[in-house]
């Protein structure tokens, strides 16, 4: 920046003294607000006990959970029998189905089994006397013949030795837990397993071509149902992803927002006319209605939702009712403020022709207020689609509860990701649709 | 849209008249079509909502007030006792009347009633998350404003980031962080802050795009860099509006922190949810009363402050 010299500075100062001799509040007000905010922040740090909380936080879970959003794992277990035989088991709901023969598991000629955790660089070879873990460029044999597993040679940093088992952490690719009679492997894959067909489906593990040809011309898998409807059934009722349920719940959320906003708008519309000072000259009625709107808004959507779930039982009806009550308050306030800001001249003009009150409202007020009403209502609708996901979690129906339950188990993070993506898509579509509609109705350009 | 815009070549009054009639007819058609669509959507939504609800509307409607009457306490003084944690003679070890439990002793026998403490937690969640969001939203909004940032990739990134933060369900962030940080208000703070950054950022950059550019040009003429231009030309113009919007957001966040509280974020929301689901009349009444008074007080205070800052015109309620 250009810097001016002292003479010039002095000259300016004499010309505009009011800018150089300002009151205490003008000079230090901002600084004091800043200091107050800082002090408050310090108080908040103490109040919520942040240092302790952050020290005790399980930060390692961030990575684990986030990686679970986009991946799944398979957990084969190798049981080593007394006679030296190796028995492979998969958990009951393994994503590989009932009859897994994965190509990353190789039976060697000498009876041992090699599992590739990540290509050829990270492998586990299980035999009856030892398990060899290869990772980070070295191979570490673990003896399992005696009472406890024993690491042969130095123990690398990624391996932890416990009393009766040895744990090898192979990063994102998975981990291995070795004990004397069994080796448990967790192998992680990127992607969402069984997203379309679950392991119970007859279409499971078939390629796209096979599925299409089965649907188009294949023999009926179930004699009493066409393959197309069977395929649809299998997708819709996928037990892992619950597409049908998720989509229904998502639709419930949208319906809740739609019904609540529409009903709220219908209720708020006549009330707003009565609440507007300039249209209804009765001050008492104005005040009563305005406080009523405030009451509806202040006794929050959450409380209405809790009340209505007790009355109607959990479901979208309770949610719609809660949004309806809150929206009557919000939209009533917005509409009445809009009405108070209209130009009174058209009304007077129409009144002067001797028209009835209804006609005065119709032709004197409506043309001015309709764009405001439509625009505000669309705004609210859009924001209610977002809000409805939360009240869903307290039992008001919709996707919120499903989302909350999926998170609470701490295991279904991929389902959380799926629902989040669906919600984001819906919100963005509504955002765009309401923007487009609003600009079309108001005739303004998008920004 | 007027007729002259669409058909500028028209001359005779008769032509204009018929064109006008055609336009009115078309408009009427679209209005009716829109209304029909709306009615159909409405009726089918009502049926859908009714069918997928646990209890049906007309079956349950007569019972709506049963429930409310159940919540009305037998002794209205219990509401005050519950609110101020005064011991109750009805207390027989159950949870419904154990009003004096949960007092927070500050100094000797002086205590803060439990619900006030929870309310303070909720307000603190709202306040601190508004402050955090304000700190992040201000620079983001300057990066997103067309007139202040000339690099379009930066602008697009800032805008998309804010949109994403706005749209991402708060409840998921709260759930994720309560798994990491243990259940409590901090997860709620993070969730509300992130959402508020997006919401405030949008309002802020719209304000920033409408500033008077003359001071900015003046600063540019004396060779000020980007930071100095924003600090001395833009910030003083937008700060009152920014503060006003932040206060507006504070009101919304008090409600948001109550809701997040109900799904495990601590504070008064959680207590309210428990109280309602167990049917504790006096406790629920006390909580609703406290919440109502607090929200009205916060609304009034912030309205008063906003009126002093920017005058009447910034009173649009936006989420």
How far, in Å, CA of B68 to CA of B61, rounded? Answer: 12
The overall average pLDDT reported for chain A is 84
Strands of the A138-143 sheet, one edge to the other: A105-107, A113-118, A122-126, A130-135, A138-143, A150-151
- A-contacting residues of B 70-109, CB under 8 Å? none
pLDDT at A285: 92
Residue B316 pLDDT greater than 70, yes or no = no
Interface test with B, best of A2, A35, A44, A250 (most B CBs within 10 A): A44
Q: How far apart are CA B129 and CA B123, in angstroms?
A: 10
What average pLDDT does range A371-399 have in this prediction? 85
Q: Is B317 on the interface with A (CB under 8 A)?
A: yes
Nearest partner of A321 among A334, A336, A306, judged by Cα:
A306
Q: Are B215 and B237 in contact (CB under 8 A)?
A: yes
Q: What is the pLDDT of residue B2?
A: 54
pTM: 0.83
A58 vs A43 pLDDT, higher one: A43
| pLDDT tens, position by position, B77-111 | 888 888 887 777 777 777 777 777 777 787 777 88
Confidence at residue B5, expressed as pLDDT on a 0 to 100 scale: 57
Helices and strands (H, E) in chain B, number of each type: 14, 2
A240, A201 in Cβ contact below 8 A?
no
pLDDT of residue A85: 79
Q: How remote is the C-alpha of B5 from its chain's centroid?
A: 41
Strands (DSSP E) along chain B, which ranges? Answer: 104-107, 110-112
Chain B contact set for A41 (CB, 8 A): 128, 131
Mean per-residue pLDDT, B208-216: 89
Task: Compute, in degrees rounded to 10, the torsion defined by CA atoms B266, B271, B272, B275.
Answer: 150
Which chain A residues contact residue B296 at CB under 8 A? 294, 298
CB contact under 8 A, A298 and B54: no
Rg (CA), chain B: 27
Q: How is residue B315 written in tokens? A: 């009173």
Nearest-angstrom CA–CA distance, B192 and B181: 15
Distance in Å, alpha carbon of B186 to nearest chain A alpha carbon? 7
Nearest to B262 among A2, A302, A407 (CB): A302
Residues of chain B with C-beta less than 8 angstroms from the C-beta of A65: 176, 179-180
- What is the chain A residue with the closest CA to B240? A30
Say what the pLDDT of residue A446 is. Answer: 43
Q: What percent of chain A has pLDDT over 70?
A: 98
The answer to whether B207 touches B238, Cβ cutoff 8 Å, is yes
Task: State the average pLDDT for chain B.
Answer: 84
**For residue A207, is pLDDT > 50?**
yes
> CB–CB of B224 and A318 under 8 A?
no
Q: Within an 8 Å CB–CB cutoff, is residue B220 touching chain A?
A: no
> How far apart (Å, rounded) are the C-alpha atoms in residues B83 and B60?
31
Which tens digit of pLDDT belongs to each residue from A260-286?
A: 999 999 999 999 999 988 888 888 999
Tell me the CA distances in angstroms from B47 to A313, B22, B64, B204, one per residue in order: 16, 38, 19, 41
A88 touches chain B (CB under 8 A): no
pLDDT over 60 (residue B294): yes
Element (H, E) at A58: none
Non-local (6+) Cβ contacts of A197 within 8 A are: A203, A204, A205, A206, A231, A234, A235, A238
In this structure, what is the dihedral angle of CA atoms A198, A200, A203, A206, given to the nearest 10 degrees?
Answer: 70
Enumerate the β-bridge partners of residue A114.
A106, A125
What kind and span of H or E run contains B312?
none
Alpha carbons within 13 A on the beta-carbon side of B141: 28
* Mean per-residue pLDDT, A50-74: 84
Inter-chain CB proximity A1 and B176 less than 8 Å: no
Contact B181 A57 (CB under 8 A): yes
> What's the mean pLDDT in B190-213?
91
CB contact set of A322 (below 8 Å; sequence gap of 6+): A260, A301, A302, A304, A305, A307, A308, A391, A396
What is the predicted pLDDT for the residue at B292?
A: 86
What residues of A are in contact with residue B203 (Cβ under 8 Å)?
none
The half-sphere exposure of B160 on its side-chain side, counting CA atoms within 13 A, is 6
Least confident of A27-31, B1-5, B113-117, B150-154: B1-5
pLDDT, residue B313, reads 54
pLDDT value at residue A422: 92
The residue of chain A with its CA nearest to that of B39 is A262
- Give the pLDDT band (50/70/90) at residue A329: very high
Lowest mean pLDDT, pick from A244-258, A351-365, B76-90, B121-135:
B76-90
Q: For A282-328, what is each residue's pLDDT tens digit?
A: 889 999 998 899 888 877 788 888 888 888 888 888 889 999 999 99
Q: How confident is the model at residue B318 (pLDDT cuts 50, 70, 90)?
A: very low
Would you state the pLDDT for residue B7? 57
Q: Residue A386 and residue B167: Cβ atoms within 8 Å?
A: yes
- Could you report the predicted ipTM of this complex, rounded to two decimals? 0.81
């Amino acid at each position: 920046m250009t810097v001016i010299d002292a003479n010039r500075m002095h000259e300016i100062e004499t010309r505009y003294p009011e800018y150089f001799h300002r009151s205490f509040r003008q000079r230090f007000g901002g600084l004091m607000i800043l200091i107050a905010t800082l002090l408050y922040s310090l108080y908040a740090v103490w109040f919520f006990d942040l240092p302790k909380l952050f020290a005790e936080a399980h930060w390692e879970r961030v990575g684990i959970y986030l990686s679970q959003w986009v991946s799944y794992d398979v957990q084969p277990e190798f049981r080593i029998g007394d006679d030296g035989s190796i028995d492979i088991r998969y958990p009951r709901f393994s994503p590989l189905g009932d009859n897994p023969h994965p190509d990353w598991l190789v039976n060697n000629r000498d009876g041992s089994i090699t599992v590739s955790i990540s290509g050829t660089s990270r492998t586990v070879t299980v035999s009856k006397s030892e398990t060899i873990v290869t990772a980070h460029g070295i191979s570490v044999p673990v003896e399992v013949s005696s009472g406890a597993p024993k690491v042969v040679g130095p123990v690398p940093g990624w391996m932890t030795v416990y009393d009766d088992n040895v744990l090898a952490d192979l990063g994102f690719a998975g981990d291995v837990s070795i004990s004397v009679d069994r080796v448990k492997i967790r192998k992680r894959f990127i992607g969402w397993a069984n997203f379309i067909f679950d392991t119970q489906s007859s279409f499971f593990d078939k390629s796209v071509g096979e599925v299409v040809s089965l649907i188009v011309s294949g023999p009926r898998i179930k004699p009493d149902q066409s393959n197309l409807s069977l395929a649809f059934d299998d997708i819709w009722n996928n037990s892992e992803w619950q597409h049908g349920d998720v989509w229904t719940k998502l639709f419930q959320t949208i319906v809740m927002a739609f019904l609540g906003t529409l009903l709220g708008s219908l209720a708020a519309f006549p009330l707003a006319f009565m609440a507007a000072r300039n249209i209804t000259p009765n001050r008492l009625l104005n005040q009563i209605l305005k406080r009523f709107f405030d009451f509806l808004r202040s006794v929050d959507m959450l409380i209405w939702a809790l009340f209505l779930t007790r009355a109607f039982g959990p479901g979208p009806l309770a949610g719609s009712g809660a949004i309806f009550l809150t929206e009557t308050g919000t939209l009533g306030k917005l509409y009445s403020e809009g009405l108070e800001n209209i130009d009174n001249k058209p009304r007077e003009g129409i009144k002067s022709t001797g028209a009835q009150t209804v006609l005065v409202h119709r032709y004197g007020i409506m043309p001015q207020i309709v764009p405001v009403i439509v625009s505000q209502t669309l705004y609210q609708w859009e924001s209610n689609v977002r809000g409805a996901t939360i009240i869903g979690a307290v039992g008001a129906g919709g996707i919120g509860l499903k989302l909350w339950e999926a998170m609470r188990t701490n295991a279904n993070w991929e389902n959380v990701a799926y629902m989040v993506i669906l919600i984001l898509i819906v919100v963005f579509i509504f955002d765009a649709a309401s923007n487009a509609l609003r600009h079309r109705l108001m005739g303004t350009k998008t920004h | 849209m007027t007729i002259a815009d669409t058909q500028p070549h028209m001359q005779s009054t008769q032509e204009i008249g018929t064109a006008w009639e055609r336009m009115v007819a078309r408009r009427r058609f679209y209005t009716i079509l829109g209304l029909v669509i709306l009615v159909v959507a409405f009726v089918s939504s009502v049926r859908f909502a009714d069918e997928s609800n646990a209890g049906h509307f007309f079956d349950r409607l007569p019972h709506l007030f049963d429930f409310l009457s159940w919540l009305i306490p037998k002794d209205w003084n219990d509401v005050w006792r519950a609110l101020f944690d005064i011991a109750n003679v009805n207390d027989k070890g159950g949870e419904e009347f154990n009003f004096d439990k949960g007092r927070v002793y500050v100094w000797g026998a002086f205590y803060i009633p439990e619900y006030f403490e929870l309310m303070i937690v909720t307000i603190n969640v709202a306040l601190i998350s508004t402050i955090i969001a304000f700190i992040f939203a201000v620079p983001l909004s300057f990066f997103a404003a067309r007139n202040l940032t000339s690099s379009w990739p930066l602008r697009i990134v800032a805008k998309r980031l804010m949109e994403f933060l706005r749209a991402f369900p708060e409840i998921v962030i709260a759930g994720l962080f309560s798994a990491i940080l243990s259940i409590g208000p901090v997860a709620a703070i993070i969730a509300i802050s992130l959402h508020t950054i997006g919401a405030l950022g949008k309002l802020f950059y719209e304000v920033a795009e409408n500033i008077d550019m003359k001071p900015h040009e003046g600063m540019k003429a004396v060779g000020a860099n980007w930071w100095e231009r924003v600090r001395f030309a833009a910030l003083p113009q937008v700060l009152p509006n920014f503060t006003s919007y932040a206060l507006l957001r504070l009101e919304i966040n008090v409600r948001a922190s109550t809701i997040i509280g109900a799904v495990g974020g601590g504070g008064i929301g959680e207590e309210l949810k428990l109280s309602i689901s167990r049917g504790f009349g006096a406790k629920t009444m006390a909580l609703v009363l406290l919440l109502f008074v607090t929200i009205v007080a916060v609304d009034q205070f912030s309205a008063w402050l906003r009126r002093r800052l920017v005058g009447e015109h910034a009173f649009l309620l936006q989420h």
